[in-house]
Structure 1
Amino acid sequence: MAALPSSPIPASTVPPAKGELRTALGRFATGVTIVTCRDAAGSAVGLTCNSFNALSLEPPLVLWSLRRASPSLAAFTGAGHFAVNVLAEDQIELSRRFASPAADKFADGVWHDGAGGAPLLVGAAAVFECAREAHQDAGDHVLFIGRVLRLADAALPPLVFHGGRYHLLGEIL
């Protein structure tokens, strides 16, 4: 790993290797979400995602990204709605389940249908019900932009991901 430069980086710098980029991006702590929708057949689809971000307050927009190689891509590009379920720290096993190839990911947790049938997780720290505004190819991912139709939040400590591992959020004294 390279040390931080003491002067500005020259314009001719060679782009970072994929592993170096992944490691450096891992230094940015994120929340952990399960993004859900219904596919064309009406089946629930969901995956663990930490690329969720706020985009705009007016209008209320959020974004997240999904690898183009994901088997869930067709479901999300075809869905008119999706939900972003921000996980609480006690939902780490759900995060692992939705990051795995488990057959029935929705067998655990308590779920109910939101806008467009997108599954909403009971007990999440926050839930954003969204209408898909757009999706766009960006490198090896697809960016999804959603207009927030409804939301709910609870004063629960969130699950955090940093440096390739889950963490709990602690208070600064």
Structure 2
Amino acid sequence: MNSPLSPSAVAQPPIFTPHDFRKALGQFATGVTIVTALDALGQPVGVTVSSFNSVSLHPPLVLWSMANSAASLPVFMAGTHYAVHVLGAEQKELAMRFATKGIDRWAGVAHQPGHSGVPLLDGAVATFECFNRSRYQEGDHVIFVGEVERCGYRNEAAPLIYHDGRMR
């Protein structure tokens, strides 16, 4: 008898295109976050991420994922800490900045060091300072599980939402 955690069969090949899969996933509205860390030289790194979710209350765990092709992946793979910032509706420009390649994402961005030194962005709806607990290679992404060491939030802010390929 198979346990609930072990697969009993092999998945069937998909009968849809990658485009169809992306469009279907886009129908699920997600929050928009920026994940920040420090590289080996102590320089700030950050990236816009919409694949953020809670995992557990005891211990407090969250997860997010990053494409294997992301330039900053090695920083997040090697680092011990990172911070996840849930963005407010008024922070669309900041989200776009941290999603853009080939620019100085940090120019003029207000931030201060968190308890582990990781940069914390000013004005986020919520912030989760995490120990980089686990990393799982799945498909074309790495899933990061963070153990939350500190968190904060502000109630009055509306969240920035990503739906159907657009931020709203």
Q: Give the letter for the 2:111 counterpart.
A: W
Q: Is the 8 A contact 1:61 1:146 kept in 2?
A: yes
Q: Is the 8 A contact 1:94 1:108 kept in 2?
A: no
Structure 2: stretches of 5+ with no match in the other structure: 1-10
Relative to the length of structure 2, the TM-score reads 0.89
The structure-2 alpha-carbon separation of the partners of 1:115 and 1:13, relative to structure 1 and needing over 3 Å to count, comes to same
1:133 aligns with 2:141: no
Q: What pairs up with 1:89-100 in 2 under 5 angstroms?
A: 89-100=89-100
Whole-angstrom CA distance in 2 between matches of 1:159 and 1:12: 36
Whole-angstrom CA distance in 2 between matches of 1:33 and 1:12: 33
* Cα deviation, residue 13, structure 1: 7.0
Whole-angstrom CA distance in 1 between matches of 2:12 and 2:62: 34
Whole-angstrom CA distance in 1 between matches of 2:75 and 2:13: 39
Q: Is the 8 A contact 1:81 1:115 kept in 2?
A: no
Whole-angstrom CA distance in 1 between matches of 2:144 and 2:14: 29
Which shows bigger deviation, 121-130 or 101-110? 101-110
Q: Is the 8 A contact 1:63 1:143 kept in 2?
A: yes
* Cα deviation, residue 18, structure 1: 0.8
Q: Which residue of 2 aligns with 1:107?
A: 107
* Cα deviation, residue 147, structure 1: 0.3
Q: Give the letter for the 1:79 counterpart.
A: G
Q: Which residue of 2 aligns with 1:48?
A: 48
Whole-angstrom CA distance in 1 between matches of 2:81 and 2:144: 11
* Cα deviation, residue 117, structure 1: 1.8
Whole-angstrom CA distance in 2 between matches of 1:51 and 1:12: 25
Q: Which residue of 1 aligns with 2:165?
A: 164
Q: Which residue of 2 aligns with 1:120?
A: 120
Whole-angstrom CA distance in 2 between matches of 1:121 and 1:14: 40
Q: What root-mean-square deviation, in Å, do the aligned CA atoms of Structure 1 and Structure 2 show?
A: 1.4
* Cα deviation, residue 95, structure 1: 0.4
Q: What pairs up with 1:140-155 in 2 under 5 angstroms?
A: 140-155=140-155
Q: Which residue of 1 aligns with 2:36?
A: 36
* Cα deviation, residue 61, structure 1: 0.2
Q: Which residue of 1 aligns with 2:20?
A: 20
* Cα deviation, residue 102, structure 1: 4.1
Whole-angstrom CA distance in 2 between matches of 1:113 and 1:91: 20
Q: Is the 8 A contact 1:51 1:65 kept in 2?
A: yes
Relative to the length of structure 1, the TM-score reads 0.87
Structure 1: stretches of 5+ with no match in the other structure: 1-10, 168-173
SS state at 2:103 partner: coil
* Cα deviation, residue 14, structure 1: 3.7
